[in-house]
Amino acid sequence: MENKFSSNAFFLSKYFALTTLMAVALTSGQSFRFVPSMGTPKEHLLCPTWCQNDTYCDRCCACHSKPEWDDNKTSYLRKVHVEYNSVRDKALLKINKQDKSQSTLYSVDHVYGRLRYFPGNICSFQHLVLVDFSFNHIEEIANISCLVHLDTLKLKGNKLKYISNTTFINLRNLREVDLSHNLIQKMDPNIFNIAGVQTYHVDVSQNILKTLDITNVFPENALFCEVNYTHSLFGKFVNTADMRLNPNKTYGSGEVILSNCVFPDHPLSLLLVSHPQDYPLISKVFQHGRIFMEGTAVMCDCRLGFILTLFRVMEDFKRRFFAKTDSMKYYCAGPPNMVNYTYMNILEDKNLTHLLVCDVKQFCPKGCKCIEQPSKHRLKVNCENSSFTALPEKVPITKLNVELHLAKNHIANLEYRDYLDKVSLLDLSDNPIQSISPEAIGSLTQATKITLNEHMLKGIPETIRKLDASKIDFGDNPLPCDCDNIWIGDWMRFTRDNSSSKLMCKTFKGVVSAEVVTTSYLDCPVGTSETLLQVMVGLLSALCCMLIWVLIAVQFKFEILLLKRKILKPHSRKKWIYDVFIEFDEESYDVRQYIFKTLQPFLLSKGLEVFIPCADTTPGETTDAIMLSTIMNSKSVLVVLSYGSENIAYSSAFSYFLHDYDRKLILLDFDHSTRNSNSHLKGSAALKRFGYYIPITDRHANICQRLADIFGPSVVKDLQQPSDDTVSDTTEIQLL
């Protein structure tokens, strides 16, 4: 009693301190209008400014924001009273004529009355923001979707039995609901998180729920402060809507209180059972909030063990699922060996986590014991000394590794089973194993230990070579070894580590370790077919290498040419007529403005001779021959890529660039078009990979200056037009 009193005193003192702080903050103007980062904002809510420093500002405001009418200096509520008009306890709402307030917001406070129904004209007061009908006799909540401004609804101590998920539809401003001390037995899924309604404070304590849908415990993307189910659930959790965890959403932003209830499992267990493939997503639940279960006993078996394995740090689990007051109140209801332990005992003693097991009955072979143990990530199927003559047809379905213990049985043949690929341990010691099927041994790739002591094998399939020989214990019984299975020696030598596992071979020279067995040891002849096979393998390998080289050369031919260009030194030319040739889409207004108003003036100021076809030729004069000649006599070519540009001169410029190592070619991407309309330009991808590409959107660089640095100082020495011989020379370069 003393501990309970001190605990309550602690919370009361903390509550009054926080309330005082809130009052001071709100009345002193230290608040701001609360607009959540997600969801529809509520009207008239003021949040204390200190919430802005909280890591989870939205949650802080959801817990501590108050409506502006709580500050009497700024806003008042007009009082509405209830007037009964029949002996059947029907009533209407009426305004107090003596209330001279000019406020457009209303409140009604009618507690300890005899209401059995909501007042018939309640929708005539759509600006009601506070309704308190506590301690009446109301059995059903009427259609109140008309009260779109409602902030607080108090129905404590009535006779409500059922809450529909349409009850609060359209009530987007509903912040607080009190349904405590009723007779509620059933609630639909998504009660407080449907159609945009997000209620911050919900009290459903002291009811008699027989089931509770998991969506009302882990609301999806919902902003809330607290949902209280204390002394309310006396049944089980259900997943009526088949809820699954979504990796792109969050669950549980506030506190869910399930203290002093009666239910068999942790609520997370239901999600694990419904969709075990969602195990890794469980850690997303209650990242910002927590769940309290003080005084509620749950089963401390493998289901709790599964949950604990999902949290790498136990402190994280404590923070999300334990109250701060007294963690020793979280205790185990079973199984019998765990009844005297609390959650805290389990978290502080790792050995106790190994006791969180389940005795699995479904699909457990007759005569066997199947124990699921999440702490060791295993399902242990113990069928030792059970007179088995073959492997079990089925084992329980599990996400854990399967350990199959079949020692001291009468199994002669190791046959395939569809669960073998999940087996991490297979114990067949003291069984007269005479044969192993290739499919069975080939499926045991996850096994870390296979025991075949006392086997009677006459041979083993070559599929066993998929396994690590050091993981298999053959015992002392030898295996017949000859020239037909000479691979056994190679397998043991190349895969066995320094472990104690071994394989003995029975040869015509006696019993020896399999590692000793070689072609020369057994005097095995090397046949012509074997030599031919080796030659064919060699030729095939050479052919594959050549094919790979050809494919690389074809796929990356431009990259190879560019690499060659980088390695070889450039040749110096005596004459260039132009320093820079610029090709761009003359029809694009934006590109044209950039070239003539920004780039060209800058390059000219650096003393460079620039040729622009549309500006430096007579209209109608531009021909392929002139373009080819100009490109031939320009040291650098700048190709501006833009949507819809044809870049006719690019092919010639690229060909000259590959063959003349003194030239420069730059692609200027004006609007990220290289992967779209300009993808047809051969070699453009290679140029980009080798750094001959500049995106104009690079805000970390002065594009004009960068281009000027690449082009270098002017090298033009003679500005006279090229001769006809020069023009004809251009045709000799093969265009790519």
- Cβ atoms 472, 497 nearer than 8 A: no
Q: How far apart are CA 175 and CA 45, in angstroms?
A: 9
Q: How far apart are CA 10 and CA 4, in angstroms?
A: 10
Contacts of residue 413, Cβ cutoff 8 Å, sequence gap at least 6:
390, 433, 434, 435, 436, 437
| pLDDT at 726 (0 to 100) | 39
DSSP state, 220? Answer: B
Does 663 score more than 80 pLDDT?
yes
Give the model confidence (pLDDT) of 39-48 as tens digits: 778 888 899 9
Q: How far apart are CA 405 and CA 422, in angstroms?
A: 14
| pLDDT at 69 (0 to 100) | 83
Alpha carbons within 13 angstroms on the beta-carbon side of residue 550 total 6
Q: For residue 193, name the pLDDT band (cuts at 50, 70, 90).
A: confident
Q: What would the mean pLDDT of 27-52 be, rounded to a whole number?
A: 81
Report the candidate in 120, 200, 127, 113 with the shortest Cα–Cα distance to residue 156: 113
Backbone angles phi, psi at 387, to 5 degrees: 60, 30
Considering 29-38, 58-67, 131-140, 244-253, the range whose residues carry the highest mean pLDDT is 131-140
Strands (E), 170-272: 176-178, 186-187, 201-203, 209-213, 226-228, 233-238, 255-257
| pLDDT at 44 (0 to 100) | 83
Q: For residue 5, name the pLDDT band (cuts at 50, 70, 90).
A: very low
pLDDT over 90 percentage in the chain? 30
Q: How far apart are CA 511 and CA 489, in angstroms?
A: 13
Q: What is the pTM of this model?
A: 0.58
Backbone angles phi, psi at 524, to 5 degrees: -80, 130
* 151, amino acid identity: D
E strand or H helix at 546, and its extent?
A: helix 528-555
Q: Which of 165-179, 249-263, 716-730 has the lowest mean pLDDT?
A: 716-730
Strand 45-48, strand 401-405: pairing: unpaired
| pLDDT at 564 (0 to 100) | 65
| pLDDT at 559 (0 to 100) | 67
Q: Considering only residues 505 and 571, tell me which one the structure prediction assigns the higher pLDDT.
A: 505
Q: How far apart are CA 331 and CA 339, in angstroms?
A: 8
* N-term to C-term CA, the chain: 92
In order of their start, the domains of the chain are 31-57 (no CATH), 75-141 (no CATH), 160-355 (3.80.10), 360-476 (3.80.10.10), 578-711 (3.40.50.10140)
Backbone angles phi, psi at 203, to 5 degrees: -125, 110
* HEC profile of 441-466: HHHCCCCCEEECCCCCCCCCCHHHHH
Does 471 score more than 50 pLDDT?
yes
Does 556 score more than 80 pLDDT?
no
Q: Considering only residues 93 and 18, tell me which one the structure prediction assigns the higher pLDDT.
A: 93
Distances (CA, A) of 391 to 8, 406, 658, 666: 60, 8, 69, 70
| pLDDT at 20 (0 to 100) | 42
Q: What would the mean pLDDT of 715-730 be, rounded to a whole number?
A: 47
Q: What would the mean pLDDT of 715-721 be, rounded to a whole number?
A: 57
Beta bridge partners of residue 226, listed in sequence order: 201, 255
Q: For residue 346, name the pLDDT band (cuts at 50, 70, 90).
A: confident
| pLDDT at 179 (0 to 100) | 96
Considering 56-60, 66-70, 106-110, 276-280, the range whose residues carry the highest mean pLDDT is 106-110
Does 241 score more than 80 pLDDT?
yes
Does 8 score more than 80 pLDDT?
no
